[in-house]
Amino acid sequence: MSMCYYVKAELKYSDKKEVERLLRQYIVDQSDQVDFNLDYYREKGVYMKSLDDLMKIIITDRGFTKDGDVYTSNFNASYGWKSVMINMFKFITPSLLDDSRMLIYPDYGVDELVVQNGECVQIQKKEPVMLILEDILPLICDSENVEIRSAINEDRVLAVYDGKHITNSLSKKEVLRIGVSEERANYLAIYVDDDM
């Protein structure tokens, strides 16, 4: 079983090399228990050298974007991958500055990890998180296979995002959940409140 994740990590640090060292150590220490898919990444030219590559391995390179020291990714992974990401953030906390944070949005709710006074504080919210369609689509804009579906009638496809265009009237819709299209497994489905 897998779940859809949207992850946003904002890393603040004074010593980038120390963050990289701890991330490498985390991957090596956990590799007996966790499949980081390192062969796949090596084939794609992603090695455990730079912070960018290390973050691609942890939060996956699917739907991966970077803006300064803010990393985002939108991907499918096992239910257990959430704890891999949470444990990673806690492991590198000693190398992070206050206000570093990571948000993990699984199919529902959110886990927020924040560095406060040098310690990692975890806040877990079970209520639905409000994501707006126009905010989430740029994160997956490299995908040409995104269906926007009605959350009320899941068989109803309201629009298809082709990586560049979507019906304008839908852009402000609240995203209720993200999943894989039942009919076409290679399509990501975004379910919105259909009050039309």
Q: pLDDT (tens digit, 0 to 9) for every residue of the chain, 196 residues total?
A: 567 788 899 999 999 999 999 999 999 999 999 999 999 999 999 999 999 999 999 988 777 888 889 998 888 888 889 899 999 999 999 999 999 999 888 766 678 899 999 999 998 765 544 555 666 666 555 556 676 776 666 677 777 766 666 655 665 666 655 665 555 555 566 666 655 4
Q: Which two tokens stand for residue 67?
A: 């803006």
The overall pTM is greater than 0.85: no
- If DSSP states are collapsed to H, E and C, what string results for the chain? CEEEEEEEEECCCCCHHHHHHHHHHHHHHHCCCCCCCHHHHHHCCCCCCCHHHHHHHHHCCCCCEEECCEEEEEEEEECCHHHHHHHHHHHHHHHCCCCCEEEEECCCCEEEEEEECCEEEEEEECCCCCEEHHHHHHHHCCCCCEEEEECCCCCCEEEEECCCCCCHHHCCCEEEEEEECCCCCCCEEEEECCCC
- By DSSP bridging, strand 119-125 and strand 65-67 are unpaired
Mind listing the domains of the chain with CATH numbers? 2-125 (3.30.70), 131-192 (no CATH)
